[in-house]
Amino acid sequence: MQKFVPLEAPEPFSVLGLPVHLLDDYAGWLVARAQQQQGCHVVTLNAEMTMAAEHNLPLAQIIRQAELVIPDGAGIVLYLKLYGRSTQRRPGIELAESLLREFGRVLQNASQTPSLGTVAFFGGQPDVIQTAATIWRERLPGLAIAVTQHGYLTPEDTPTFLQALKETQPQLILVGLGVPRQEFWIAEHRHVCPNAIWIGVGGSFDIWAGVKTRAPGWLRDNHLEWVYRLYQEPWRWRRMLALPKFAWRSLVYRLMQG
């Protein structure tokens, strides 16, 4: 049996008091964690979540305790540049897609490398979550989606869902309940599947199911995906006020640091 050296979490860099872990290959690091059956909570940090955590101490604590926090938002990337730390934006949806492809891939050296296990989808509308699962199964026939559950779970139905997770023990669990609900849900229930990779994926199921679309590449490349999101969901305008607040706070914080 092949022996593994336990993976340590990468060194965090502070963004307004919250950690961001800088890695060249997040997916590779998480796959290694999964193969070694080391559980992990992944937080996809952006400016909006950072500002929310200032007034939501339990959320801030969950972010600080997560084994991996990635720079999901353009604001986080720009903040890091103020400190001379150049990195690419790593959207959570793209990280999740990379992991799904890896979990669905037939490992050529299965006898030497532990195979990856099953996947669970949780969140979104009932028809959306089923469509997203169907699309991924068609795209990757080797992908084993063992559990799918929409996000409108009643308290009465919750024990049945948790029992399904407990029995199947998926190694990758994608939770799309929106911020911060998904972060709290993962923190409360990750003990059910302690060896799983848990990721809050927001509205990714809507995009995979074709209900919504991502911004064009040129907007994403120029850190303007938030404009397209506001166009799709005008009701988010109040939440978008966190962006200029984050930018101002970042500049002031940098000046105070000298």
Q: Given this model, what pLDDT does residue 237 score?
A: 47
Distance between alpha carbon 46 and the CA centroid of its chain, in Å? 11
Residue pair 203/178 in contact by the 8 Å Cβ criterion: yes
Q: Which residues of the chain have pLDDT under 70?
A: 1-6, 8, 106-115, 215, 218-224, 226-241, 255, 258
| Residue showing tokens 């966190």 | 242
Tokens of 199: 């990721």
User: Starting from the edge strand earliest in sequence, which strands make up the sheet with 40-45, in order?
Assistant: 68-71, 40-45, 197-200, 172-176, 119-123, 145-149
Residues 6+ apart with CB under 8 A from 248: none
Please give the distance of CA 204 from its chain centroid, rounded to a whole number.
Answer: 10
**What pLDDT does 10 receive?**
83
pLDDT of residue 115: 60
Helix H or strand E segment including 69: strand 68-71
Quickly list H helices, 83-125. 92-104
Separation of CA 237 from chain center: 23
The H or E element that residue 247 is part of is: helix 242-257
Residue 35: both structure tokens together:
């193969």
The values of phi and psi at residue 146, to 5°, are -80, -30
Query: What is each CA distance from 27 to 68, 101, 149, 158, 179, in whole angstroms?
Result: 11, 10, 24, 30, 22
The pLDDT value recorded for residue 244 is: 76
3-state secondary structure of 21: strand
The reported pLDDT for the residue numbered 11 is 83
Query: In this predicted structure, what is the pLDDT of residue 182?
Result: 98
Q: What is the DSSP letter of 7?
A: P
Q: What is the pLDDT of residue 222?
A: 60
Q: What are phi and psi of 86, to 5 degrees?
A: -90, 125
On average, the pLDDT of the chain sits at 87
Residue with tokens 């993976």: 7
Task: Determine the residue type at 71.
Answer: P
12 by DSSP, 3-state: which? strand
